[in-house]
Amino acid sequence: MAPNAVQPPKKPEPPKKLQPPATPLAGPTPVKNTAKPKPPLVIPPVGAGNQGGGGGGNSNSPPSPWLCADREPQPDRTASFVEYLRWMRSPDSPQKDGTKVQILQIAEEKAQYQQRLQQLCDRTQAIAGKDNTFQVKCPWRIRVGGHRGPESILLPAFDALGMPYIPSATLRGVARTQAIRERMAAERVGWKEAEKQTARWFGSLDAKGSDRCGKVVFLDAYPLPNKAGLKVDMANNIWKWEGESLPIYDPNPNPFFSLEEPTFLIGLRLVNNCSDAKILDQVKAWLVTGLQGGIGSQVNSGYGELIRAGAGQPKDEFFRLEFTLQGQLIHGRQKFTQWNWNDRRQEWQMRGQPDSEVRPIAFKSMLRYWFRSFTLGVLPPEEVQRWEAQFFGGINPKQWGWLRVEILEGKVTQREPSPNHQGKNDDCGEQVGILVLRYSPEAPGNRQQAISSLFKTLTWMMFHLGGIGQGARRPCYSRQNRERAPWYRGSTLYPETKDSFWNLPDTIQEFKQRFQQRLQEFYQALNQVTQLAVNPRSPLQVGQVTSNRWSEAVDRNCRIVVVSGQNQDKPYALNLLHQEFHNLENNKNFDQAKSLCGGVQRGAVPSPIWIADLDAYQVVTVFGATADPRKNYLNLLRQPAQIWPMT
């Protein structure tokens, strides 16, 4: 540690509240349509079946979520979400995406399970016996099993009456897998041999005598009443590899159902011809350990962990860090608001309201992004794709992944300002939590030390390169001179720790050395894990760079610099970037402006520039920095200290 190292800078006070405008905020003037009069906005009550019918709605009323216009469904309050989805609009409706959000939210809010779940939990206790049941709590969300419903909605596993649950076969598989893994570690044998050794408890067709049959009965597990937690969730695959070519930016949000913070009642019992209580105790111990390791889908992304009261810290954890996030925050699903008529497009539209939520998958996705960016500069794309899937998981080919990312005690401590003029005096949003990194069961033991070093260093760089969630490429700042929402833009991550690993020096030259030290540690760990030749001193060139073309890779064409400077409303580097952007727009160079700050016109393009505000200085990452307008922006920065390429 450098002698002049100091503790991490204190979080600055949130940006000053905006002052009320001198004149009332005027909305945009609607475009008149002489060919067709604008239909009146009539928002029907939820479930209004006579508003537009089973197709795409008519010109005078918002589209209905229901399949039949003349027969509005009236499901009983105890009906499950399946009943609501059964009446969903035809999939060829022009408003199908908005309808999907609307119908899922209706099912989430209206479906009630308490009475039925109480009966099912009572049944579990009656069959297993009170002493043979126990409860496990999910700290965040869980997706077990699943069905593909209308519009390819991913649904949780549910029984014949539509109750979400964990099938008994899943529980048996969890306990059996845990038993096999423990036998493999204890006896130093392979999977098949360990599987044979567990036949005494779980049975096997290859075994002889009584070991052919399992000794323990697993019962279906249901959530406790009032804690079912059925919630609309969201998956969004933002970056996609196209074969072995570079990944492309292609957001694809899809809503689905998961269970939020449920508590399950687990019931086991011995088969009728077995009275050995030790067998039941051993299987229960395996099941408890296996459930804590996570079940269902996306286990490595924070889903599926089930913890019994009194359980200790997982042995596979290797890193944790408390954090605070300020700015536009991390969002989950979009909540349904209402249908609005678009005069220009002559169609009904639904613009959802973002739901703030501390999501571990957002941290995992950001780690994945920076891993890909840094490795593309030193490894061929096919190797990057291979090792990205090895660490983070993949679908084609299917891989589990070696890294698990979780968030503990995640919560929103300050909501974002209201998305209208009334929110201009609100404080900026804030989220807090504890980031936890763990090895997955697939992580090889002989590489775990290098994996730990790799991701500890990558996490440090992630915190000092940008934010997370919406607005991650800009630091949090207040739109003091603007009179429209959102009032706060950007995202700033703060590590809440006194660990010397996170101490920051005072000057930009010392910070440059510190960052380059972290880069060296990252690439050394990458070399140890992959056994590939990695030379950051001689970076590769990824693709061709032009004014409107670049690769989001820390390669020969990328520049990472640190600059100091102050500005009244914004960090110096961000203020200069916005000045250049507006200069280009004022000169009608719209393509150049988009190539500097990104945009959504004629296709969404993320900004090639990241800025992180570290209080005393700012870190600026510029992809494709060898071509204007990005090259010109770099030349305008005052006395930058170059971190990358390393010299």
Residues 553-608 have pLDDT tens digits of 999 999 999 999 877 778 999 999 999 999 999 999 999 999 999 988 777 899 99
As a whole number, the mean pLDDT across the chain is 86
DSSP lists the bridge partners of residue 489 as: 477
Q: What is the pLDDT of residues 382-441, one digit of tens each?
A: 999 999 999 999 887 788 999 999 999 999 999 887 766 666 777 889 999 999 999 999
In contact, 259 and 158? CB cutoff 8 Å? no
Cα gap 590→581, rounded to integer Å: 9
Cα gap 175→135, rounded to integer Å: 16
* Per-domain residue ranges of the chain: 39-112, 114-308, 317-517, 537-647
Cα gap 232→105, rounded to integer Å: 7
Sign of torsion over alpha carbons 521, 525, 530, 532: positive
Higher pLDDT, 51 or 516: 516
Q: How many other β-carbons are positioned within 10 Å of the β-carbon of residue 500?
A: 9
Query: What are the backbone angles phi and psi of residue 642, rounded to the nearest 5°?
Result: -80, 120
Alpha helices by DSSP H, 531-606: 572-586, 590-597
SS3 199: helix
Is residue 359 classed exposed, middle or buried when 0-12, 13-18 and 19+ CB atoms within 10 A define those classes? buried
pLDDT the model gives residue 562: 98
Is residue 140 classed exposed, middle or buried when 0-12, 13-18 and 19+ CB atoms within 10 A define those classes? buried
pLDDT the model gives residue 342: 87
Question: What global pTM score does this model have?
Answer: 0.88
